[in-house]
A and B are shown apart, each in its own frame.
Chain A
Amino acid sequence: MPTSSADGTGRPAQYLQVDDLSAGYGGTVIVNGASASVGPGEIVTIVGPNGAGKSTFLKAIVGMIPAISGRVRLGGEDVTNMRANNLAKRGLGYVPQVNDVFDTLSVFDNLAIGGYLLSRPDAAKRTEAVLETFPALKAMLKRTASKLSGGERKMLAIARVLMLEPRLLVLDEPTSNLSADLSRMLLEEHVRRLGKGGTAVLIVEQKALAALTISDWAYVMAAGTMKVSSAAKELLARKDIGEVFLGRSTEPASLPKASGGMD
């Protein structure tokens, strides 16, 4: 069950709760004691400069790399270092930045593998529902995924994950390699709709302004830790926003202290 919000921020009860997470590669610590949370129906974006550790943070949450320390809870259950396949069974959907579809397989097979955990009739129903959400994919079901354009590919990547109707959707740089128009369409049309439908969405995004526009809450990550935790609107309103994105400014310069401050 989601834990209840007691931080006075007005945020929904948290579905994903990450506390003091540290992670890295080959003994090098990249994420150092970072915390974040996402509630049902909430869209949360993590922004920050290159090399801040945003993707590493996500990978440790979704079971792609081990957490060195800290705790990840999903719906109240401790899922720290749980394997990705078991996290998928618990309702976590993950779209990586690259290698986000099965390149050698057709669009239809990608969706079928997205619904791997479903029975055949359920998978068929979900395929229909997902194709209603992404009607453009209907015309290219037999096409090999590697032959899709950047936008089509990202649509397929999200459609594949939606096959299991995840309760938490984790998107790593969903608009990288997409044009400005496609980025806006993806974020404003699809991601926002998912949030409204009750899915908790956690995004890491370089195109921070576009992502923050549709977000409820935001974190600024720099040097492996969360420097700022704030309502997305408040973050967008800050005059020193450029400095904030780079993690150089943590205290509001022109507004009262962001509600909630750091978790």
Chain B
Amino acid sequence: MDQLIPAFGFGLITASILAIAAVGFTLQFSVTNILNLAYGDIMTACAFAAYLANHAGVNIWISLIVGALFGAVFSMLLNRFVYFGFVRRGTRLFGMIIVTIAVSLIIQNLLLAIFRPTFFSYTASQGPSYHVGSMVFTASQLAIMGIAVVAMVCVHLLLTQTQLGKAMRATATNPGLARSSGIATDQVIDAAWLVSGALCGIAGVALVLNTATFSETTGAAFLVPIIAAAVLGGIGQPYGAMLGALTIGIAGEVAAALISPSYKDVVAFVILIVVLLVRPQGILSEIAAAKEVAA
């Protein structure tokens, strides 16, 4: 029990990072219908972009914005110049997954060639520690949780209160009908890559801030929990991804504390397998079901 509450605290931090990443991942899939398995590597590339800014003397939180901007622009260009070419030729979901795996390997090896196989870290203080009950958080960790909450509120407001959000939801549900309702779906898809890429960038930098060091494989190693969170919530469901992130994040850290740290990812795998067996459409399944019908 002594370990449980601090583990819950660690879980909240992991869940925060996971929520940002999983919402970006699932938003990308819901609007574009591309299951982007290069997402983790783009997180790493964003972390490196922030690293370059940080080591050029830029404050870490400004560097986080640099990482987010890099993620937004890189993701949109990746779609425009790589993915979209395959989509236009009629490459379907499974084929696109193979393409994203290829992109993942290319990004990882480019990072390896540019930055060499070693560990990197930001020049940033974790700040003072704060006690919340028997949980201890550094200022940096509290900031990450704050950023996650703000990001989730922004995504919620974007989806529910703006014309772009309305267009994204329509495009995600039925792109053909969205077009015939007057929505320029190409522009909406660009916007979805920008928004999800920015979330990817924030998640990449936040992940490194929490783990202290990183290499070219850090983001890729985080991909399984991201997918698990997205699948748990119902792939394509931003609110489901938030719920999935909370579950996977806390369950992983609790398992790490009670059993062994090496069980953290195992928990994500187990939850992923159980969900796929019991409720493959996820907790919030409407989008996934609609996509099956439309396919």
Query: Contact residues of A with B, CB < 8 Å?
Result: 62-64, 83-85, 87-89, 93-94, 96, 99-105, 109, 112-114, 116-117, 144, 146, 160, 164
Which residues of B are found within 8 Å of A117, using beta-carbon distances? 181-182
Interface residues of B in 173-191 (CB under 8 A from A): 173-174, 176-185
Alpha-carbon gap, A177 to B167, bound state (A): 28
Partner of A85, one of B163, B172, B185: B185
B276 at the binding interface (Cβ < 8 Å)? no
A85-B180 contact given A99-B293, A103-B293, A116-B163, CB 8 Å threshold: yes
Any A CB within 8 A of the CB of B136 = no
Q: How far is the CA of A100 from the CA of B183 in the complex (A)?
A: 15
B residues lining the A interface (CB < 8 Å): 163, 166-167, 169-170, 172-174, 176-185, 286-287, 289-290, 293-294
User: Pick the contact of A102 from B163, B170, B185 — CB < 8 Å?
Assistant: B170
Is A88 a contact partner of B181 (Cβ separation < 8 A)?
A: yes
Q: Which of B163, B180, B294 contacts A88 (CB 8 A)?
A: B180
CB <8 Å contact, A85 and B184: yes
What are 23 sample pairs from A and B whose C-beta atoms fall under 8 A apart? A85-B182, A85-B184, A85-B185, A88-B180, A88-B181, A88-B182, A96-B176, A99-B293, A99-B294, A101-B177, A102-B169, A102-B170, A102-B177, A103-B286, A103-B293, A104-B286, A104-B287, A113-B166, A113-B178, A113-B181, A117-B181, A146-B289, A146-B290
Q: Is the interface of B mostly helix, strand, loop or mixed?
A: helix
Closest partner residue, chain A, to B163 (CB atom):
A116
Cα of A104 to Cα of B170 in the assembled complex, Å: 9
Q: How far is the CB of A262 from chain B (nearest CB, A)?
A: 29
**Distance of A261 Cα from B164 Cα, bound (Å):** 48
> Provided the pairs A85-B183, A88-B180 are in contact, do residues A105 and B169 lie with their beta carbons within 8 angstroms?
yes
Selected from A101, A103, A116, the residue in CB contact (under 8 A) with B183 is A116
Among B172, B181, B290, chain A packs the most CB atoms within 10 A around the CB of: B181
Q: Which residue of B lies closest to A90 (CB)?
A: B182
A94 to B179, CA, bound (A): 10
Q: Chain A residues near B169 (CB, 8 Å)?
A: 102, 104-105, 109, 113
Q: In this complex, what residue of B is CB-closest to A170?
A: B180
Q: How far is A105 from B174 in the complex, measured between Cα atoms in Å?
A: 10
Contact B174 A99 (CB under 8 A): yes
Contact of B173 among A62, A64, A85, A103 (CB under 8 A): A103
Known: A93-B180, A99-B177, A117-B182. 10 other contacts (CB 8 A): A63-B180, A64-B180, A83-B179, A83-B184, A84-B179, A85-B183, A99-B294, A101-B177, A103-B289, A146-B286
Instruction: Provide the residues of chain B in CB contact with A94, threshold 8 Å.
Output: 180
Distance in angstroms from B89 CB to nearest chain A CB is 11
Given B170, B185, B289, which contacts A113 in the complex, CB threshold below 8 Å?
B170
Chain B nearest CB, measured from A20 CB (Å): 24
B182 touches A99 (CB 8 A): no
Partner of B167, one of A100, A101, A116: A116
Assess the A104–B290 pair: CB atoms within 8 A.
yes
- Name the B residues within 8 Å of A103 (CB-CB): 173-174, 286, 289-290, 293
Selected contact of B176 from candidates A99, A101, A146, CB within 8 Å? A99
Q: A84 touching B180 by the CB < 8 A rule?
A: yes
Q: Which of B163, B166, B173 contacts A104 (CB 8 A)?
A: B173
